[in-house]
A and B are shown apart, each in its own frame.
Chain A
Amino acid sequence: MLSRRNFLTAAVGVAAATGLAACAKEDGSSAAAAGSGSKAITLGFSQVGSESGWRTANSDSVKSAAKEAGYTLKFSDAQQKQENQISAIRNYIAQKVDVIAFSPVVVTGWDAVLKEAKAAKIPVVLTDRSVETSDDSLYVTLVGSDFTDEGRRAAKILEKVLEKAGHKGAVKIAQLEGTTGAAPAIERAKGFKEVMEADHADDWKVVVSQTGDFTRAGGKQVMAAFLQSNPDINVLFAHNDDMAIGAIQSIEAAGKKPGKDILIVSIDGVKDGFVAMSEGKINAIVECNPLLGPQLMEVVKKVKDGETVERWIKTKESDFMQDQAKDALPTRKY
């Protein structure tokens, strides 16, 4: 990959200025704690890739938390490929790290390599996403978000938003879904529907629902079409902030006021989402926290010490209403 990038940079000379250095992978040990204190825990971490701002924040959190805890972190970026992740894990097994953590690219196909880890007596911790295995003992725990619960929380916070806006009458919801087939998209829709059907079966209705691929451009285009086909939409539920930000632009182009004419609830809590919320354009955000580094380090320590941990350690997350946006904005890291 590096050589391919190298000659490309020759072509795109302009890009070179921004620094290839940043791309140098930190495959080797990044923390320099090798010599001192042989007790330092060595953690092998295999990240999915760097496909979004959320993911970058996630990687940074893991790196800085490891440094703070004084662990030796071996970090590798799988560039969205399972085979890269499997070979990274095999490397960690060969290097006899203390704990392996990884964020699986896909759900299945991990049995063989996880069995190798088990045979080498190296505990495995999953982060962010789960896997399907034949044998539950193949990994110790999952540190990550509960997407279904995020959907439920979005529905709950929508109740508050409606109450605050003094909304009366039918609630006609447009839903912007994430990438078709992705776990967060499926589960967020599921959680939202659950609450809606249980508590608001007669007054709430999802009138249109379509995928915006988790992108701003997607959200913008889909929302523009929604506003044409269903001009009476009064609530937007977006599976992530970026789609909501795109949709806001379409709502404005249609001459409506986002946050007033159309109430908006979204999930994630990225910085730009908070900016939009502080401008009054998003009504509420359900946080999906990528900063799980500190929690991961705690779990790693416990696992290393042989303590029992829960099967699923959920990340600490909160919900934000508009009035909290201004205060929360400066603390958003990603």
Chain B
Amino acid sequence: MTTTSRWRALTHHHLFWPVAVLIALLLVNVPFTPDFFSINMTDGHLYGSLVSIVLFGSPLILVAVGMTLVIATGGIDLSVGAVVAITGALTCSYISDQTDQNTLSAVFLAMGVGLVAAVVCGLWNGFLVARMGIQPIIATLIIMVAGRGVAQLITDGQIITVNSEPYKLIGGGYWLTLPFSIFVVAAVVAVTVALTRRTALGLLVESVGGNAEASRLVGIRSTRIKIMVYMFCALCAGIAGLMISSNTSAADGNNAGLWIELDAILAVVIGGTSLLGGRFSIGGTVVGALVIQTLTTTIYTIGVPTQTNLVFKAAVVIVVCLLQSPKFRAKVFGAKGPKGPRRDAAPVEPAPAPDAAPKMEVSR
């Protein structure tokens, strides 16, 4: 009996389904790439599929973590892809203007310029959403569309190539045999978790997402909280922009971070954060982003024909989202369950948001 109850506790953990999907996806690769899980040393750094997944997935994790907080306040930020492009463009064009591109101070200054621009974009988004009361999807659409134009202005429509060893470290280099970007992601995630779960900040964000007006009435400065999350989201996107441009040592105003906003929203949803706002899971988002990156890698390795890439991706995402829905699970798995009481328990448990019926409901 204890094992079954433990099993139940496990399957009802909010991270169970995302993690299960991630493991399943990783296993799918094994028949196609026999040494998929093997990691070996090459040129003084670790090398293997798992390392690649984390390395290439790092920018998405960052963007998705920022997006999680915005979504927790009931908002959405479509501008992250453009912010990625602007940050990369500004930083690379600054570095490429230097006579010695390897000077540390110049690289730091360049990154500072890029990140400040990113935060300014976030401030603008937050201002429109929180102060002007514009719908988040519209407010952030402005920079999504126009921001890419700005990035192209900065790069003059060209791809700017830089040859800077220090800059290459952030997104493409290795430290202590691991990709450096892993440390950046770990630091950002740790700080975010500490700020939101060790202080009241997370609770405030959730309460603003639950009901901004009620939060204001009980004394929470919901406007300020909202502006802060948009700025934080843009900062995360900015760091991701540094990583993406550093990874290829080039800034591509047209393509850097293209559609990353959609992948990030998907990662957040797969991770179990409700788009309705009011609650969030940073851990779930990280797993969600890894699921998406693994899916991308899987498509490359198992030889899906290019024309059917997106269909394949869509099919997997549909399955993942269905697995996340308690209603679907109750219908499919609940009916098969041998025990009577469990069948009843399953659909009742996630009841607290009954009005959310047509929306995708997530397990907690």
Cβ of B42 within 8 Å of any chain A Cβ, yes or no, is yes
Which partner residue on chain B sits nearest A11 by CB separation?
B124
B153 touches A22 (CB 8 A): yes
Cβ of A295 within 8 Å of any chain B Cβ, yes or no, is no
Name B149's contact: one of A5, A11, A213, A222 (CB within 8 Å): A5
The segment out of A47-55, A90-98, A165-173 that lies at the interface is A47-55
The segment out of B14-22, B155-163, B211-219, B221-229 that lies at the interface is B155-163
A221 touches B157 (CB 8 A): no
- How many angstroms from the CA of A119 to the CA of B98 in the assembled complex? 55
B: contact size bracket = 35 or more
A8 touches B244 (CB 8 A): no
The segment out of B61-69, B112-120, B193-201, B329-337 that lies at the interface is B112-120
Interface residue ranges of B110-164 to A (CB < 8 Å): 113, 116-117, 120-121, 123-124, 142-143, 145-147, 149-150, 152-154, 156-159, 161
Whether A8 contacts B42 in the complex (CB less than 8 A), given A211-B309, A215-B255, A228-B33, comes out as no
Cβ of A134 within 8 Å of any chain B Cβ, yes or no, is no
A11 touches B121 (CB 8 A): yes
B42 touches A12 (CB 8 A): no
Residues of A within 8 A of B181 (CB): none
A12 touches B121 (CB 8 A): yes
Residues of A within 8 A of B45 (CB): 253
A255 touches B56 (CB 8 A): no
Which partner residue on chain A sits nearest B50 by CB separation?
A228
The segment out of B246-254, B272-280, B342-350 that lies at the interface is B246-254
- Chain A count of residues within 8 A CB distance of the other chain: 50
Residues of B within 8 A of A76 (CB): none
B147 touches A221 (CB 8 A): no
- How many angstroms from the CA of A249 to the CA of B249 in the assembled complex? 10
Residues of B within 8 A of A187 (CB): none
A228 touches B153 (CB 8 A): no
- State how many angstroms separate the Cβ of A229 from the closest Cβ of chain B: 4
- How many angstroms from the CA of A177 to the CA of B307 in the assembled complex? 11
Q: Mind listing 28 A-B residue pairs with CB under 8 Å?
A: A4-B142, A8-B142, A9-B150, A14-B117, A15-B117, A20-B153, A22-B156, A181-B307, A210-B306, A217-B244, A217-B247, A221-B296, A224-B52, A225-B49, A225-B300, A225-B301, A228-B33, A228-B36, A228-B301, A229-B33, A229-B302, A229-B303, A242-B252, A245-B250, A249-B172, A249-B248, A253-B42, A272-B161
